[in-house]
Amino acid sequence: MFSGPHTEMIKTIHWFLFLFCLVAPFSAGPVPCGAGETQGLAPAVARKTGNPSVSPVRVPEPTLLEPAAHVVDISDKLFVAFRWEPKGSPYQVWYYVFRLYRGYETAAVRQIYAKQVSALTPAVAISIDYFRDGESYTWSVVQVDAGPLFSGPAFATFRVVKK
C-alpha cells in the first residue's frame, strides 16, 4: 500500500469523517418552530439518476402507533406520548423527523413543534402546554434511512379534550 508522511493524516481524516457521519444525525435537539424556521428538517429526496424524469427513491413510511384514538383526554396528564415503528428493517433507519401541527393543515405556519428523533427511540413526549382543549392536531413522522433516503410523511389527526 502507500506509505509516507501523509498516510497517517489521511487515515485520521477518514476515521473522523466516518465517526462524524455516525454521530451527527443524533446530535440535533428540538427545533424552534414557525414559518420558515424548520427548513433544515424539510425532507429532500434522493434520485437514482440525474435525470429529473426518473421518479425519486423513497423508503416506506413508518407505522404510527400512539395516540391511536381520535380523541385524546389530557386530564391529569403532564404530556402526550407519540410512538411509531419503522417499516422495513429498523437497522437501516438513520433518524426520524417528527412534526406537530395545530388543526388539519400541515403547512409550516400551522406547525407548533418539530424534532429530529434518534432511530433508537422512535417516540416523543410533548408537554400538554402545547395543546388546547377542544382543538384538533395533526402529527407526522418521516423516516430517514442511511442513504439518506426519505419516506413520505405518515400522518394522524386527533382532538384533545380535558374532562
In a domain? residue 42: no
Per the structure block, which three cell numbers stand in for 148?
439518506
Q: Assess if residue 2 is contained within a domain.
A: no
Boundaries of domain holding 151: 7-32+48-161
| 37 belongs to a structural domain | no
pLDDT attached to residue 8: 62
Residues 6+ apart with CB under 8 A from 117: 95, 96, 97, 98, 123, 124
User: According to the model, what pLDDT value does residue 27 have?
Assistant: 41
pLDDT value at position 136? Answer: 96
Helix residue ranges, H only, 2-118: 7-23
Cα distance between residue 98 and residue 18, in whole Å: 26
Residue type, 105: E
Instruction: Give the CATH number, domain containing residue 74.
Output: 2.60.40.10
CA atoms within 13 A on the CB side of 4: 4
pLDDT computed for residue 74 by the predictor? 92
Report yes or no on 97 lying in a domain.
Answer: yes
Total of domains in the chain: 1
Count of CB atoms within 10 A of residue 7's CB? 11
Tell me what pLDDT residue 30 has: 44
Q: 54 lies in a domain?
A: yes
Residue 41 placed within a domain: no
Write out the chain's pLDDT in tens, 163 residues. 455 655 565 555 554 444 444 444 444 444 444 433 344 454 444 444 455 555 555 688 999 999 988 999 999 999 999 999 988 777 888 999 999 999 998 888 999 999 999 999 899 999 999 999 999 999 999 999 887 889 999 999 999 998 8
Predicted local confidence at residue 21, as pLDDT: 44
Residue 43 lies in a domain: no
Q: Is the residue at 59 inside a domain?
A: yes
